[in-house]
Chains A and B, each alone.
Chain A
Amino acid sequence: MAEQLLETGSAAGRGQILRLEGVRKSYNVGTPIEAEVLHGIDMTLAAGEFVALIGPSGSGKSTLLHLVGLLERPTAGRILIAGKEIARLDEAGMTELRGRTLGFVFQFHHLLPEFTALENVMMPTLIERGRYDQAMRDRAKWLLGRVGLGDAMAKKPSALSGGMQQRVAIARALAVNPPMVLADEPTGNLDSHSADEIFALMREINRDDGTAFLVVTHDARLAGRCDRRVELMDGSVRT
């Protein structure tokens, strides 16, 4: 799927799953408390790359991730995802692109507590296709097996440990087989042993499937194990 999307992209975006050009983000625009959080970010992510986004608290990491995750729009600059210029998309187009191209892993797991692990993993595909089918069930089971939760499929999140919940979240992020996964402090809430395991799992998926990862992390040790590091400092990229 990653290849497919890339082929439809522009010549400039070939081989790039993500491209940011002079991206700025301000809050409370037009009010006395207007504040610019990102001051012109330029960065790219190649297909299949595993990149760490690091920086101290308040440096704008999460804001950048939300922009890339199409949850917010930039105040200025261009964002291209799989070669698509997002400024041209309306709300529905953004929602669709988000659903097809991006997988999310959040710090606080963010599973739906009303649904079992299996149902949580099927949720993105259910949203995309509208109703349950056997193919999505099979894939969700396979994914859960892959993240080592083959036995916990029928359990609700409240019955799982933090590490296990994060594994479910990773499986969910992979449900639609997206070319890129965005992870916001995926190991932030875990003990170091679980954190290592989760990180290893993400690297393994990256290696086997060619899924690109953009991982926000505080953990310098983990960041050192990525292909590349992008450091944010006070809303600008430090090189």
Chain B
Amino acid sequence: MPFEWVLALRFLREGHMQTALIVAGTTVGVAVIIFISALMNGLQASLAERTLSTQSHITVRAPDEAAMPVLDRAGQAVAAHIEPRVQRLRSIDQWERVFRELPAIPHVVDVSAIATGSGFAYRGNASKSIALIGVDPQRYRRIVKIEDKIKAGAYRIGPGEAMIGIELAHDLGAAVGDRIRVLSSENRDDVFRVTGIFDLGVRDLNRRWVIMPLRSAQSLLDLPGGVTHIDLTVDDIFSAEAVAQQIAARTGLTADSWMAINTQLLTAFKNQTMTTRTVRLFLILIVALGIASVLVVSVVQKQREIGILRAIGASPRRIMKVFLIQGGIVGGAGALMGSGLAALMIYGASFALRQDDGSALISGRIDASYYLSAAAVALLTGLLAAVAPARRAARLDPVEAIRYG
């Protein structure tokens, strides 16, 4: 082992209490950094998951229709005022081609085509405004997990069957097996037998959604063979916006990610992340100050020994290295033990912290990158914190150090 390491290790070993305290401090610092990062990510993931339980990650639709301004030869608009165009209910052009292409885009997992429009539902004297949602039930179950939210009946829509929200069922006085009549905005109507009643946890959706087979919706909305939206999911929910932009660029269609739709939620996430970062920064600062102060004290205590070492041939550079190594070792040991402590804390929290539905708030399995980045930060902090004490040690005048035994 090189001279500098021999000395650094021995100084640390013989400094029992000081070393133990500062390593403990660094350990706790590292553990808390990892733990709050894991906790915050757990919270955000769980919140995002809840939000996404009733919507797709990305929705692809036809671009909005725009009025074409009439231009003269000089490129100036002829009309002074351009009326915005009415947005008609229309199908995505050649949607089947797009539908086949989408799964090839990286990160895209599941794809489902949807025909949706507005209308009314009637039963007896009651009539309610509704959203018609025509889906392929086998595909759609992978986008929105309505199966888990069925309160009565079953997740099943054959021809002439529909599932409705729990509020709508209440308003229409409809139970599973009852028939309701649906009139679309295109003035076509059809009768459906209710096979399932779902509760999405969002009152507005529970009051309006009527999920029916794709074909029924297509004929009600006068879109033979057409679909209005393609819903899809991605493997990493936070990559949705990037994927959406890629889809828009590749297909020329409009693609909205859940992130663009739920901007408030995303702002909340950003603020949370900022808070976590601030806390992390201060923790690093505290750890750095702790390491630096212990090393400064150690340099003062070891003045005499540093003088002796200089007298018997150690250069200032090598003395400096001895203290830098000590800082590195404290940081490294803190990183290692802090990661262990954090793993324990996260394991404990995966049992202790439960959500309303009983599932764990943070999963026991945390990405290795958390540990690696926290460990790297601790090591670097240890080294940087040691710079000032190490320089001080290197500058010590050996005569001064030796003279006063």
Interfacial residues, chain A to chain B (CB-CB below 8 A): 62, 66, 69, 71-72, 91-92, 95-96, 98-100, 104, 106-115, 123-124, 126-128, 130-132, 172, 176
In the assembled complex, which residues on chain A have CB atoms less than 8 Å from the CB atom of B13? 114
> Is there contact, CB below 8 Å, between B2 and A112?
no
In the assembled complex, which residues on chain A have CB atoms less than 8 Å from the CB atom of B405? 106-110
> Is there contact, CB below 8 Å, between B313 and A95?
yes
> Is there contact, CB below 8 Å, between B2 and A98?
no
CB closest chain-B residue, reference A172: B312
User: How big is chain B's contact interface, by range?
Assistant: 20 to 34
CB closest chain-A residue, reference B1: A131
In the assembled complex, which residues on chain B have CB atoms less than 8 Å from the CB atom of A95? 310, 313-316
Q: Which of B3-11, B54-62, B98-106, B211-219 contacts A (4 or more CB under 8 A)?
A: B3-11
> Is there contact, CB below 8 Å, between B1 and A132?
yes
Given contacts A108-B405, A114-B11, A115-B10, contact A130 B312 (CB under 8 A): no
In this complex, the member of B10, B304, B310, B405 whose beta carbon has the largest number of chain A beta carbons within 10 angstroms is B405
In the assembled complex, which residues on chain A have CB atoms less than 8 Å from the CB atom of B43? none
Sampled A-B contacts (28; CB under 8 Å): A62-B403, A91-B316, A95-B314, A95-B316, A98-B311, A98-B312, A99-B313, A100-B313, A104-B311, A106-B402, A106-B405, A108-B405, A109-B405, A110-B304, A110-B307, A110-B308, A110-B405, A111-B308, A112-B308, A123-B309, A124-B312, A127-B3, A128-B313, A130-B2, A131-B3, A131-B6, A132-B1, A172-B312
Given contacts A106-B402, A108-B405, A114-B14, contact A71 B310 (CB under 8 A): yes
Type the 1/0 row for B233-255, where 1 means its CB is closer than 8 Å to any CB of A. Answer: 00000000000000000000000
Interfacial residues, chain B to chain A (CB-CB below 8 A): 1-3, 6, 10-11, 13-14, 304-305, 307-316, 318, 398-399, 402-403, 405
A124 to B314, CA, bound (A): 8
A127 to B4, CA, bound (A): 9
A97 to B148, CA, bound (A): 82
4 more contacts with CB within 8 A, not counting A95-B315, A127-B3, A127-B309, are A69-B311, A130-B3, A131-B1, A172-B312
In this complex, the member of A72, A111, A131 whose beta carbon has the largest number of chain B beta carbons within 10 angstroms is A131
A33 to B62, CA, bound (A): 90
CB closest chain-B residue, reference A114: B14
User: What is the CB-to-nearest-CB distance from A23 to chain B, in angstroms, rounded to a whole number?
Assistant: 16
> Is there contact, CB below 8 Å, between A114 and B10?
yes
A132 to B314, CA, bound (A): 15
User: What is the CB-to-nearest-CB distance from A82 to chain B, in angstroms, rounded to a whole number?
Assistant: 15
> Is there contact, CB below 8 Å, between A72 and B3?
no
Given contacts A110-B308, A130-B3, contact A66 B314 (CB under 8 A): no
Q: When the two chains form the complex, which single residue of A107, A111, A114, A124 contacts B313, counting CB atoms closer than 8 Å?
A: A124
In the assembled complex, which residues on chain A have CB atoms less than 8 Å from the CB atom of B3? 126-127, 130-131
A72 to B399, CA, bound (A): 8
In the assembled complex, which residues on chain A have CB atoms less than 8 Å from the CB atom of B6? 126, 131-132
In the assembled complex, which residues on chain A have CB atoms less than 8 Å from the CB atom of B312? 98-99, 104, 123-124, 127, 172
A197 to B300, CA, bound (A): 35
A211 to B399, CA, bound (A): 24
CB closest chain-A residue, reference B12: A114
A108 to B405, CA, bound (A): 6
Q: Closest 3 interchain pairs by CB? A: A99-B313, A108-B405, A114-B14
User: What is the CB-to-nearest-CB distance from B225 to chain A, in angstroms, rounded to a whole number?
Assistant: 81
User: What is the CB-to-nearest-CB distance from B255 to chain A, in angstroms, rounded to a whole number?
Assistant: 63
Given contacts A98-B313, A104-B312, contact A127 B403 (CB under 8 A): no
A205 to B308, CA, bound (A): 22
A104 to B399, CA, bound (A): 13
> Is there contact, CB below 8 Å, between B308 and A127?
no
A110 to B302, CA, bound (A): 11
